[in-house]
A = this chain, B = another copy of it.
């Protein structure tokens, strides 16, 4: 069975200190053990029409759905989400069990 993924894409409001937020997120995941892996990035390559204004992607991996649920209700996450949500203009979240088709060597 695959892992459980929490996938977030974001467009930040103008003037937001994005680096503070990404640092905050890095700190957050380092504090919460059930987050198995975390990676993020800022789009540099996609066409504007395909990017639709979104600029940042955040991907968290959990061993199982229950770990994701525990993460969501963790007080540090709840606190961070409040701070994060005021900084964003648009967001899409997708949470799903992952089907791994091709694995890293």
Interface residues of A (CB under 8 A from B): 2, 5, 7, 9, 26, 29-30, 35-47, 50-52, 54-57, 59, 61, 65, 68, 91-105
Q: Which residue of B lies closest to A103 (CB)?
A: B37
| Central interface residue in A30, A47, A92, by most chain B CB within 10 Å | A92
B contact residues around A102 at 8 Å (CB):
29-30, 35-39
Given contacts A45-B68, A50-B91, contact A57 B96 (CB under 8 A): yes
| Central interface residue in A9, A55, A96, A103, by most chain B CB within 10 Å | A96
Given contacts A101-B26, A102-B36, A104-B61, contact A95 B5 (CB under 8 A): no
Kindly state the separation between the CA atoms of A72 and B48 in the bound complex, as whole angstroms.
17
* A63: min CB distance to chain B, Å: 10
Contact B101 A38 (CB under 8 A): yes
Q: Which residue of B lies closest to A44 (CB)?
A: B96
